[in-house]
Structure 1
């Protein structure tokens, strides 16, 4: 019975995180549509956001593989993928706060929001990976078994 409850609770939490990931992806698209035909990003930061997009896609692909396989190595990979998004998020702040920043106020706000959307996308993927790990091991990751 505990296993069944663990599956139900985990399924609910996983679905909520995946739904939120979709919402965050939609927010990224909405920012682009809001600014059209103007560019959202100054040229100077475009390469950083190209990296964000590649890293977020890797998180999503790895997460799909994890959901299919329940492979704990893939769960660890999702966490490593998130570390890349976290680092890119820090770099976005460094760029906008640096003396070479050439964006206007609107672009600064957009860069800040977009960086946060990507960073949270990764965080939700890690949450799903943690839940899958819990399903497989019964351990929430704090070293203590959980009897849910």
Structure 2
């Protein structure tokens, strides 16, 4: 092979790699968009779920801090290096809470071995939260 053919092959290889990277990025972006649309549809269905109507049956409500405490959710404070103090210090940013993980933990605390994804798919399939809880409630002996 001559120099020109090698240079051309190298250019084609680089172009192929770039196309693959763009394709991978596009697929990630599409999965993220699909996930966003799925969550929006789930929240829309929750807003019309009759089993969540507070006017019909008064129930005890918990704040998110009570849920965090009940599930022993691990809140991690990010540490950053402070160059003036020459040591790591807690970040000014508030810790993030993964609500899907929190819901999964709440389900597990109630003896339901399902995930938030399972609950979301059930509701998106036409069920209600109450039906999901009844179907997956732990069996009492």
TM-score under structure 2 length normalisation: 0.38
Select the structure of larger CA radius of gyration: 2
Specify which structure has the higher proportion of strand.
Answer: 2
Specify which structure has the higher proportion of helix.
Answer: 1
